[in-house]
Each structure stands twice: as structure tokens, then as C-alpha cells.
Amino acid sequence: MPNSMNIGSLDIGFHNLKGGKTTAVSVEQLRERLVAPNDSDIELELFLLPAGACPVRELPHSLGNQIGGETVLINGEKWQGGIDFGLTPNINKDYSDAYKHTNEWKALLYTGLKRLGMDRIDCLVLGLPCEEFYKSPVAVKDVIELSVGKHKIDEDLTVEVKKVIVIPQPLGSFHGYYLAEPDENIRKILKKAITVVADPGYGTFDWVVINKGEHVLQQSAGSTRQSVRAVCLETERLILAENPNLKLAPNDIEQCIITDDWEVLVNTKLVDVKPFFEKAADNIGKSAFKYLRTALSSSSIDPQICILTAGGAEIFKSIALKESGADRLLVSDYSIYLNVFGYLYEALKRKEIGEW
């Protein structure tokens, strides 16, 4: 297996953009790097950015170089991708399945490719929500067609992506968890158990069931919009129900999650929104897991393990064990990056068996 192999992974979400690359040329090398980083010569580079993107001309000039993200070319126009949502008030974010066809998504793809820092990528792995992956073959085809080939990222950089693989997002999270888990006993359990991976992202809450660490029970995979965004909207509803005269700014609750500062300035008064958020998370979490349990019950699946991943793991953690129906809950310290690890795993695994 050549050492010059360039692989990368990108997760283009509604809330954040993350990605990674590694010099590992085998699954075992990647595992060694994750479990014992101080004892490995293998490089692993990761990045995490907000999923805001807009034309440069719409950004406040006063911020200068403090804007962050990356400047890319979209249809000949300069865009800034990977920036805070507070800087993109004029962009109406598309939370539908058509998101991948927007200039915003393309700007985030180009931002990710620029951050990966390679002008040639032999294999790039991306993910899709389960609902799209399993029920819309066109969605998978679209992501591949949008990502493969040569991309003029800016005036000085063109990136060629030779191969694109698309997998369900929570499947990537399972592979990532299994790779990064240092406890061999837990790894053995996962190889024998029926495991449901619950992946509460910002736009969708996805799940997939994996039997004995290998076989995806496709009939039980699913998605719901009862996600982190739904928690934010429910929080706003609860606040306004008690305080109908308050005027919340767009993305106020989302900013609270990002900054962990739960006091919001509303009508010149500071309002503690944490109690409302916790109640909303309980409401939405129960609803999301009800969808999950219904899907599993209809397929007569009784999971033994629930792996909770993604950016919403901490938000839903307190109710996940009781509501998932599993006997044991696993949450990784790397929850936010698990699917990035898993996407890199997918590229290496398929290379090892000669698929590319």
C-alpha cells in the first residue's frame, strides 16, 4: 500500500463543518494513533469550524482578519466559509434535503477541501443522514457528483478529488467509536452485541443498528428532525409562552450552546434560558427516542448497547439510557469527531480490500 496515499474525510453539517486527514495507510495504524497518540508516528489532523458561509461582500468590514474560516470561490465570487452564524444574518439556511445543492453547502465543501491542505485527494469520504442514504439513492449520487473531480478553490488552489465514498453518518460514528475505544473488553462486547448508534446532530437525529459489529440492519435505520435545532426552537417557544413580549434574536439559543453562556440579552434585560433549554431537551429527546424505539420495535430489534454520538450527545445524554431501551449507554470523549474517524476508517478499509 503506497505511503503517498491522500485520504480525507469531511462532515458538512447544518451546524458545523469538520474534517480530518491522516498519514495512516491501514486501519490498524489509524487505531494505534487514536488509542496511543504519544506512541505513534502516524499523523492525524482534525478541524472543526462553524457551518456559516456567505459572500465576502456581505461581511462586516470592521472585523477584518477576525472573521475566521476560509475564503473560497463560488461561481467566480468570493465567499467566506466556516464562519460564525452571527456573521451571516442575510443567509436563510436551508434545512431541507436540498441543502447540498446550495452555494452555502458548496462553500463549506470548498472550505473543507482547503483546510485539508491537499491538492490531490485519492479518496474523500462524506456522510449523509440515514433517511437520505437509504431511501434516496439520488442523494448519494448527487453528493458524489458534487464532490468528485477538479475544484478551483481560490485563485491559487485547485483540488482534484479522485474518489468519493458516501456512508450513513451514524455508521461512521460506530466505526469511529470502535477504533478509538481503548478498552478491549468493550470492543469485544461490541463485536457480539446488537448496538444502536444514536446520532443527534443539529439538523437531524439519525440512528442505525449494527449487529455484532459488522452487519447494518438497514430496515431499522432512520432519521427524524427532532434534533438539536428542534431543541433550540422548542426553547424559544417555551420562553415566549411565559414571556410573550420578549423578542429573541435569531440564533440566540444556538449561541448559548456554542459559548455555554446561558444569559441572553432580551429587551435590555438578561434572561437565564438554561431552565427552558433543559426542559426543551427533555421534550425533544423523548420524542426523538420514541421515533427510534418505534422503528426498532417494528423490526423486532431489542438493542443491548446504545452509542450516543455527535454534537448533541451531551444534550440528550441524561435521558438516552432510559429512552433508548438499551441495557448500556456508551458516550465517547471524542463524540464530536467520531464520524470523522469513521470516515477515515472507511477509506482505509476499502483500500485494503481493493475497492479503490
What are 7-19's pLDDT values in tens digits? 999 999 988 999 9
299 or 126: whose pLDDT is higher?
126
pLDDT for 90 equals 63
Q: Which amino acid is at 318?
A: S
Answer whether 312's CB lies under 8 Å from 204's CB.
Answer: no
Burial code (b: 16+ CB inside 10 Å, e: under 16) for 301-317 equals: bebebbbbbbbbbebbb
pLDDT for 258 equals 83
Q: Taking residues 274-285, report their average pLDDT.
A: 96
> Is the pLDDT at 1 greater than 50, yes or no?
no
Q: How many domains does the chain have?
A: 3
In this structure, the answer to whether residues 89 and 78 fall within a common structural domain is: yes
**How many residues does this entry show for the chain?**
356
Residue 267: domain span: 229-277
Contacts of 319 (CB under 8 A, 6+ apart): 281, 282, 285, 286, 289
298, part of any domain: yes
pLDDT for 282 equals 96
- Helix runs in 192-337, H state only: 228-242, 252-259, 274-298, 313-324
Q: Residue holding cell 429573541?
A: 248
> Is the pLDDT at 2 greater than 70, yes or no?
no
User: Are β-strands 263-266 and 269-272 bridged in parallel, bridged antiparallel, or unpaired?
Assistant: antiparallel
Confidence bin at 123 (pLDDT 50/70/90): very high
Strand arrangement of the beta sheet that strand 70-74 belongs to = 52-55, 77-83, 70-74
180, part of any domain: no
In this structure, the answer to whether residues 133 and 36 fall within a common structural domain is: yes
Q: Which amino acid is at 199?
A: D
In this structure, the answer to whether residues 106 and 147 fall within a common structural domain is: yes
Q: Across all residues in the chain, what is the average pLDDT?
A: 92
179, part of any domain: no
In this structure, the answer to whether residues 118 and 222 fall within a common structural domain is: no
φ, ψ (nearest 5 deg) of residue 214: -135, -45
In this structure, the answer to whether residues 267 and 142 fall within a common structural domain is: no
Answer whether 198's CB lies under 8 Å from 322's CB.
Answer: no
In this structure, the answer to whether residues 70 and 164 fall within a common structural domain is: yes
What are 196-223's pLDDT values in tens digits? 999 999 999 999 999 999 888 888 899 9
Q: Taking residues 229-252, report their average pLDDT.
A: 88
> Is the pLDDT at 65 greater than 80, yes or no?
no
* Distance, CA of 314 to CA of 327 (rounded, Å): 19
> Is the pLDDT at 325 greater than 60, yes or no?
yes
**CATH number, domain containing residue 219:** 3.30.420.40
In this structure, the answer to whether residues 163 and 44 fall within a common structural domain is: yes
In this structure, the answer to whether residues 69 and 119 fall within a common structural domain is: yes
193, part of any domain: yes
pTM of the full predicted structure?
0.91
